[in-house]
Structure 1
C-alpha cells in the first residue's frame, strides 16, 4: 500500500514527529508513506532516510504529484487547500482528515467544508480533540488514535552512553528544566520567563534549557525579552538541536534530577511530553486540553492550574527537591506509562487496520 500525507508546515513539532514514527512502523508493515508540504519550517532533517518528501507551493506540481503518485489513500492534516488539489487531480481513493489544531477558530477553516471531496473519516490524537472536532462536523465518523513514540529511540540513556560532550552541557551543580518546542503565543513563552524570573530570585541551583524555536514567529520577541529581564544566565536557549539528539537532551535533564516544563495554552496531543516520559523525565504542565490524558498527576509528572505561576514553581521545586528514590519511582512510572499506552507498536496497528479497511486490501501476514 502507498499513502500520501499532506500538511502545510514541515516543522520539528509533534505532528511531524508523530508521522515520522508512523512512517517507520508503516514501512515494516508494507505500507509506504510519502509526504507533501508547502512550507519548510526547519523540519526536513527529521524525515531524512524515513520517507520521500515533496516541498512545493506550485499548485500544478501538487496536482501532478497527486495524480501520478498512484496512492491508495491520502491523509490531509489541517490543510483546507488540499481539498481543491484533490478535486483537480480527480483522486478517487479514500481521504482521511486529521484534525490537529487545538484552537477551534483556527481548526474551523480546515474541517468546516470538505468540497469537492467526501472524507472517509476524521482521525484525532486525543479525546479532547474529538470533542473539538465534533463541534465543527457532523455525519463523518471521528476516531481517536494517539500519537505513538518509538521506544527503541526515545528511551532512558545513562552514564557513558550519554553525549555529554555535545551541546547543551550541564552547568555543575544545576538542576535542568527543559522547555521544548516552538516559541509562539500558544506555547506561552511569556509564562516561562515569569517562572524563570521568580525562580532566579529564590534559588541558584536551577537552569532552564529552551530547545528549539529557530524559525518560530516570536523568536525575536523572546530573545529581546530574555535579555531585557536579565534572564540569559538562567534561561539558556538552543534554537537548533538535531532531532536525533533529543534522547540525549532528556538523558542530561534526568541525570540532574530535573524535569520538562510546559506552559502551553493548549495541545491536541503533545509529543514532547511522551518523548520526555519515555526517557524517564517527569513533566510539569498545565492541566488543560489533552494534557491530563498524557500526564498522570503525581505519578508521571505534576499538573498545575492554567496561568498559575506560583503553582507551577511549587511543582518544579517538588520534583527537583525529591530524594533519589522518589525521583526514580516517578521516572520509572513515566517510562512504563509510555511503553504501555503510547509505544508505536501499541498505537500504530489501529491506523494500519483503518487504512486496510478503507482501501480494501487483504491483511498482510
Structure 2
C-alpha cells in the first residue's frame, strides 16, 4: 500500500511528531510519503527518511501524486490538497484527519464536507469524534495518537533537585500560559521553595515574551526558569527530572484534541494536573481522574497540586498508573496495528463500492 500524508506546516512538534511516530510502524507494512506546504525545520523529525517533500504549489502537488500513484491520500486539517486532487480515481481512498480544535478550520470542514472528495474522517479521540458529530460530520473513526515509548521513559539520575512545577507549550491564548503564572504565583506564596519551569515559546512574538517576564515579576515567583526551545528527543529528561524532584506537570490549556505532552509526562513517571477539557479526561480515566480540575478554576488547580506535592503515596500511585497506561494503550505498536487495519479496511470498502 502506498500512503501520502499531506499537512500544511513542516514544524517540529504536534502533527509532524505524530507522523514521525507513525512512520516507525507503517514503514514496515507500506510505502509512506509525507508532503508539506511550508518548511519550518520539521523534517529532522523523520531522521533522514527519503520520502519527505515540501510541495508549495498546486502543480507540484499534482505532479507528485501522479508520479507515485498512491492508494491512500490523507489530508490533515489542510485544504490545499483538495485543489490538486481533481477527480478521484476508482479504488483510491481519500481521508481527512482532524487534529485541530480551532473553530475556523472545523467550521470550514462542516460547511464543505459535501463538496470535498474525502471518503473517511479520522480523529485522535472520542471527544473529537463526538464534536465532529455535533457539527454534522458523522461516522468519523477514532484512532489514538501514538507515543514513542522507547524515547519517552523515566531516566533517574543522582542529582537531587527541589520539587518543580513544569508547564510545556506555545505562548498562545489556546495554551493559556498566563493562567500557569497565576497558579505559580499562588503556589509560590504558600510553598516558597517550589521551583517553576516553563518550556516552549521560542516562536512567540517579542511582545509576548516580554509579557511573560513582566508577569513572572508581578506574581513574585522566586524560582522561575524559562527554556524557550528544547529538542524533542531531550524532553524525556525534563519530565524525568521533574518526576524525580517530587514535582508535577501542569496544563492550563483551553482545549485539546488529544494531549500529547500530558501523555509524554505520564510515560516518564511524571504526575500531572490538567483541566477537564477536550480529550484530557480520556487520558486520565479511572483512578487517574484525581488529577483533573475544572477548566479555569485556578484555586482548584492549586489545591490539586498541593495535595499531590504533600501526599507521597498518592503521587507514587499516579506515577505508576500513568506510566502503565501510556506504555500500553498508546504505544507505537498498539496504535500502529489499529491504524493500519483501518486503512486496509477503508481500501477494501472502496474497492467493493466501485465494483457495485
- Taking structure 1 as the reference length, the TM-score comes to 0.86
Show the counterpart of 1:220.
207
Show the counterpart of 1:237.
226
Show the counterpart of 1:322.
311
Q: How far apart in 2 are the matches of 1:236 and 1:320?
A: 19
- CA shift, 1:23, in A, is 1.0
Asked if 1:350 is matched to 2:338, the reply is: yes
- Give the conservation status (yes or no) of the 8 Å contact 1:297–1:303: no
- CA shift, 1:269, in A, is 0.5
Question: How do residues 119-268 of structure 1 correspond to structure 2 at under 5 angstroms?
Answer: 119-138=118-137, 141-159=139-157, 173-216=161-204, 220-230=207-217, 233-268=222-257
- CA shift, 1:329, in A, is 1.9
Show the counterpart of 1:168.
none
Residue 311 of structure 1 is aligned with which of 300, 308, 330?
300
* SS of residue matched to 1:299: helix
Q: How far apart in 1 are the matches of 2:229 and 2:81?
A: 30
Deviations 1:13-68 (A, max 9, x none): 3322222211111113x223221122344533322235632224222222222222
Aligned residue pair count? 347
Structure 1 residues 96, 188: CA separation in 2 closer, same or farther (over 3 Å shift)?
same
Q: How far apart in 2 are the matches of 1:265 and 1:359?
A: 36
* SS of residue matched to 2:307: helix
Structure with greater proportional helix content: 2
Structure 1 residues 284, 117: CA separation in 2 closer, same or farther (over 3 Å shift)?
same
Q: How far apart in 2 are the matches of 1:91 and 1:190?
A: 51
Structure 1 residues 118, 62: CA separation in 2 closer, same or farther (over 3 Å shift)?
closer
Asked if 1:66 is matched to 2:56, the reply is: no
Q: How far apart in 2 are the matches of 1:191 and 1:270?
A: 18
Show the counterpart of 2:352.
none
- CA shift, 1:300, in A, is 6.8
* SS of residue matched to 2:183: helix
- Give the conservation status (yes or no) of the 8 Å contact 1:184–1:219: no
* SS of residue matched to 1:275: helix
Q: How far apart in 2 are the matches of 1:101 and 1:35?
A: 19
Q: How far apart in 1 are the matches of 2:172 and 2:30?
A: 35
Q: Which runs of 4+ in 1 moved over 4 A?
A: 88-92, 114-117
* SS of residue matched to 2:288: coil
Q: How far apart in 2 are the matches of 1:223 and 1:92?
A: 54
- CA shift, 1:148, in A, is 1.3
Q: How far apart in 1 are the matches of 2:194 and 2:186?
A: 11
Show the counterpart of 2:37.
38
- CA shift, 1:271, in A, is 0.8
- CA shift, 1:88, in A, is 7.7
Show the counterpart of 2:282.
293
Residue 359 of structure 1 is aligned with which of 342, 347, 356?
347
Structure 2 unaligned runs (5+)?
350-356
Q: How far apart in 2 are the matches of 1:135 and 1:293?
A: 19
- Give the conservation status (yes or no) of the 8 Å contact 2:61–2:81: no
Show the counterpart of 1:269.
258
Structure 1 residues 358, 121: CA separation in 2 closer, same or farther (over 3 Å shift)?
same
Q: How far apart in 1 are the matches of 2:340 and 2:327?
A: 19
- Give the conservation status (yes or no) of the 8 Å contact 1:11–1:44: yes
